[in-house]
Structure 1
């Protein structure tokens, strides 16, 4: 990250308050508005949905956007500006309000309303790297590919109760039409290894013949991504495979992935490329 500029309190601010922030912590929203209004000329907008949120950003003019919201609101804002090809020229500021604030904290934004608002007024813009995929999706903090769900573990046999239960289940299956298997929910237990090919800058780090537990990718520094693959262990725990590169391609059986706080997929292949210094975020000086 590199410092770009400090701000004068005479700057005009466009304060965009996410609806989730208003519902979850109205007091912190009020505090942020008071501190910002006392230190700069502000225009406050309270969009009700994603479309209005996008229109407000598009019509910001020369005002500096200040987001009052949580991690998801930050991700949505960065994604919108990237897809509009306006991210490089727009320095974002943020006052974290809401339940999910781990990403904002990891990026260096103060998580208290007063401290964050003061950083908006007196901080500096730091340029940060961004992971961009081949469908125009963005990753600010971390990408993670979890293991595939494994089949449910059968109940132990041998008791009369188990035999009775299996008989009832068999009868039910004959009476109720079969349904397609349910997609696993995020966070469900019992995960098994996946078979994926992971390539970094065109070099294969792990191939389909080596089951893996997880793959994680995050922007590191100087336009590089930090890649860690944890192979499935048999007996002793296997050591992770770590490397750095500018592009990461993952392919194989259908897989889902978590980009920051959002789960996407399933896909058969996806490539992420690091965009060095692609966006700016105001942080304490």
Structure 2
């Protein structure tokens, strides 16, 4: 992944500010906008939703796009440009603002607004590999099967259970003391733990994992997890963790350009987003498929 292209401050920038970033950290958005406007000719767009976000990128003309937002805004921009088949020719810049910034940071972008904005103005282009699946979805970082479970768990999303206070009363006011309501609440508390426990402790998965057409593990081997991440240029690194019996089983490691997972319906988490369920999914590595602005070596 060579860093070969530098940018001049005379470049015209299209600064697309994700509405979530504006609500989450308006001060960092203002700082980024001021730094960018002071160093280059900028056109600032404030889309109100995904449709306007897409239109702004589509109408960028010769301006270099700069996304001000979190990891999901970055993923949305790459996905849109990929679907328009404009990703290879477009160098994307990002100023990370928001709660989820780990993906941008792992790709080499500073997570501070000032440093990231300066990198947009004075940085270099880094060509990065991309995982593209058979539904035309993209993965910028790593993916995992099964997805990392929501810490809140099913019980944390249960409206009836969440309405209960420490003493079993609700915030419904004077009527909360009626016996029929207490009976219902008791029933909810009785049923909810068994539902949550069954959802939080799934058994091992049985999946077939193929690398470049060769089977790494088949359906007869129960698995704890599969992970796929960018490796050396042009290949993905795959780690399969068999379900342990007694002593912990050693992971199976492989690398290749094409990774296919199939078997029972499964979900997967990629770049912080859970997808599925699907019965089969194939990811292909596209070498140097997109360009991202990062700080220069100096």
Residue in structure 2 matched with residue 222 of structure 1 by the alignment: 233
2-side partners of 1:113 and 1:84: how far apart? 29
Q: How do 1:125-204 and structure 2 match up within 5 A?
A: 125-146=125-146, 189-204=200-215
Q: Does 1:264 align with 2:275?
A: yes
Residue in structure 1 matched with residue 124 of structure 2 by the alignment: 124
2-side partners of 1:222 and 1:243: how far apart? 15
Residue in structure 2 matched with residue 161 of structure 1 by the alignment: none
2-side partners of 1:35 and 1:122: how far apart? 12
Judged with a 3 Å threshold, the aligned counterparts in structure 2 of structure 1 residues 40 and 251 are, in CA distance, closer, same or farther, namely same
Q: Does 1:232 align with 2:236?
A: no
1-side partners of 2:278 and 2:214: how far apart? 21
Q: Identify the structure with the greater helix proportion.
A: 2
Instruction: Assess if the C-alpha contact under 8 Å between 1:40 and 1:121 holds in 2.
Output: yes
Number of residues paired by the alignment?
256
Secondary structure of the residue aligned to 1:51 is: helix
Instruction: Assess if the C-alpha contact under 8 Å between 2:147 and 2:274 holds in 1.
Output: no
Q: Any stretches of 5+ residues in structure 2 without a counterpart?
A: 150-182, 188-194
The CA RMSD measured in Å over matched residues stands at: 2.3
Secondary structure of the residue aligned to 1:82 is: helix
Residue in structure 1 matched with residue 10 of structure 2 by the alignment: 10
TM-score by length of 1: 0.86
CA shift digits 1:1-53 (9 cap, x unpaired): 11131000000000000000000000000000000001000000010111111
Q: Does 1:103 align with 2:103?
A: yes
2-side partners of 1:265 and 1:38: how far apart? 44
What displacement does 1:192 show? 2.2
Residue in structure 1 matched with residue 158 of structure 2 by the alignment: none
Residue in structure 2 matched with residue 26 of structure 1 by the alignment: 26
2-side partners of 1:20 and 1:191: how far apart? 33
What displacement does 1:190 show? 1.7
What displacement does 1:259 show? 1.3
What displacement does 1:222 show? 1.8
Residue in structure 2 matched with residue 208 of structure 1 by the alignment: 219
2-side partners of 1:82 and 1:58: how far apart? 12
Q: Any stretches of 5+ residues in structure 1 without a counterpart?
A: 150-167, 173-181
Structure 1 residue runs of 4 or more that deviate by more than 6 Å after TM superposition: none
2-side partners of 1:202 and 1:111: how far apart? 39
2-side partners of 1:266 and 1:256: how far apart? 5
Q: How do 1:267-282 and structure 2 match up within 5 A?
A: 267-282=278-293
Instruction: Assess if the C-alpha contact under 8 Å between 2:147 and 2:269 holds in 1.
Output: no
Residue in structure 1 matched with residue 75 of structure 2 by the alignment: 75
What displacement does 1:106 show? 0.6
Instruction: Assess if the C-alpha contact under 8 Å between 2:148 and 2:269 holds in 1.
Output: no
TM-score by length of 2: 0.82
1-side partners of 2:63 and 2:98: how far apart? 24
Instruction: Assess if the C-alpha contact under 8 Å between 1:148 and 1:194 holds in 2.
Output: no
